[in-house]
Structure 1
Amino acid sequence: MEKSGTSTRLTGAVQDLTSELVSALRSGGPFRLAHGVPGADDGIALAAVRVMGADAVLPSVLHDVPPGSDDLAVFSRAVHAYPPPAGASPASAWSHWAMERALRTLDGSADTPPDGVPGRGTEPRAAWLEDASWQSLTHQLAVLAPLAVPGADSAVARVARGRPVDVARGFVRAVRRRDWLQAAGAGRWLVLLDGVPETLGLETGLAFVAQMGGDDPRVALQVEAAQLMRIGVRV
């Protein structure tokens, strides 16, 4: 029962944080992570930041608004509190690496784990994506959508850049399957890729995904990020 209650609290905290992030992306105003995460020293609150990954500071990145020191402190605590365990999935390792990169980008003095520690500091491998089917590739890229930010290179981004048509196919498939979250995540990647077929109609597609899945703040977050990057709001 206690475990179920903790899971419910975490789900609610993640949803609340996601909604706050969506509002900040739409308004363009400053987003205070320390204020958007009630009880920032609470384990549930920090876990919610970890679930959001690098997207927890996305408004600062896309709107080029320096975060406050207290915001960086909250984000840093989440980064260091939840390192990927031994044997973690590639997605978990990449998600944590993206948080470390975001922290270093926003705070050059950040104390992040040194290179050479597997899964911490050193960029994880992406060989598991290189030969993935286009369906699996799209699914994984949607999970790793926080890596899709302007000017941020990574092995995952390089795989995506080499397969724009496959990602476009995956976007269409997700829309047809009414998997709005996957479609939104794929669309976020597509706005950064060259070679996307013009026949895809990405702008119209993103608007449709927003309309159909926008009640889910996770979908709204990815669509807002994609649309901001599409019109050139970048670091």
Structure 2
Amino acid sequence: MKQSGTSSLLQDAVQDLASGVVSALRSGDHARAAAPVAVDPEAEGLALAAVRVLGADALLPSTLLHTPPPPDELAVFHKAVETYPPGAQAAPTVAWSHWAMRRTLLRLDPGHAGGPGEEPDAAWLEGASWQLLTHQLAVLAALALPGEDSAVARAAVHRPVDVARGFVRAVRRRDWRQAAGAGRWLTLLDGVPKTLGLDNGLDFVELMGGQDPLVALQLRAARLTRTGAFV
């Protein structure tokens, strides 16, 4: 029961953090997007865990809008990276998420951050079915950034039609989080079938699932990428 309660608290914290990111992206101001570290050790641990779950997107307003993050938010992010390194047996998506966070630190705080290191292995994406590819890309949507290269991004670049198929499948299955994540990747890819109607598709996902902050975050990132508003 305690574990279930903790999980629920973490889910709520992640939702709150995502809502802050969405608000900052909409306003164009990095206003309290990241979770503050509280004095209570338990609350601090929850805040750090929420940042680690959201990953590099916790500082997405600074990344996309080119605004420096407040020092306290940067400190929370940095501590989350150091507190939750991936274990030796971590899933590839966990390793990649951590790598993306370290790359974000290097971009936003180069004087106090080591480099992201070598890219994790991406062999599991080679030959992946379009269903699996879309699922994994949606989990790693924080890597879907304009002008940023990685093995994961290259896997997406080489298979725009498959990602489009995965987007449609996610919409049909009413998996709005996966649809939003796939849609964010599609805004970066050349060769997406025009018959997909991506803009209308994103509108539909927002209508049906946009009340979920994690969906809204991906959609807002997709919109900014689509319009070039981050430049």
Q: Scaled by the length of structure 2, what TM-score is found?
A: 0.94
RMSD: 1.5
User: Are 2:198 and 1:202 equivalent residues in the alignment?
Assistant: yes
Deviations 1:172-212 (A, max 9, x none): 11111111110000000000001111111101100100000
CA distance in 1: counterparts of 2:33 and 2:141, whole angstroms: 20
How far apart are residue 32 of structure 1 and its match? 2.8
Q: Partner letter of residue 113 of structure 2?
A: D
Paired residues for 1:81-92 under 5 Å: 81-92=83-94
Q: Partner letter of residue 52 of structure 2?
A: R
CA distance in 2: counterparts of 1:110 and 1:157, whole angstroms: 26
CA distance in 1: counterparts of 2:48 and 2:132, whole angstroms: 30
CA distance in 2: counterparts of 1:71 and 1:15, whole angstroms: 17
CA distance in 2: counterparts of 1:234 and 1:24, whole angstroms: 13
Paired residues for 1:93-172 under 5 Å: 93-112=95-114, 121-172=117-168
SS of the equivalent of 2:111 reads coil
Deviations 1:31-62 (A, max 9, x none): 3345x436287111000000000000001111
Q: Unmatched 5+ residue regions in structure 2? A: none
Count of aligned pairs: 228
Asked if the contact 1:31/1:59 (under 8 Å) is kept, the reply is no
CA distance in 1: counterparts of 2:229 and 2:20, whole angstroms: 19
How far apart are residue 6 of structure 1 and its match? 1.8
Give the one of 52, 61, 64 matched to 2:63: 61
Alignment partner, residue 12 of structure 1:
12
CA distance in 1: counterparts of 2:129 and 2:4, whole angstroms: 35
Identical counterparts, % of pairs: 66
CA distance in 2: counterparts of 1:38 and 1:84, whole angstroms: 22
Asked if the contact 1:49/1:56 (under 8 Å) is kept, the reply is yes
Q: Unmatched 5+ residue regions in structure 1? A: 115-119
How far apart are residue 121 of structure 1 and its match? 2.2
Q: 1:111 to 1:38 in 2, by over 3 A?
A: closer
Asked if the contact 1:63/1:234 (under 8 Å) is kept, the reply is yes
How far apart are residue 2 of structure 1 and its match? 2.8
Q: Scaled by the length of structure 1, what TM-score is found?
A: 0.92
- Give every structure 1 segment of 4 or more consecutive aligned residues whose post-TM-superposition deviation is greater than 6 Å: none
Give the one of 36, 43, 46 matched to 1:44: 46
SS of the equivalent of 2:188 reads coil
Deviations 1:51-101 (A, max 9, x none): 000000001111111112222111100011000011100000000000000
Deviations 1:107-162 (A, max 9, x none): 111333x6xxxxx7221011100110001000000000000011111000001000
Alignment partner, residue 117 of structure 1:
none
CA distance in 2: counterparts of 1:9 and 1:177, whole angstroms: 27
CA distance in 1: counterparts of 2:215 and 2:32, whole angstroms: 21
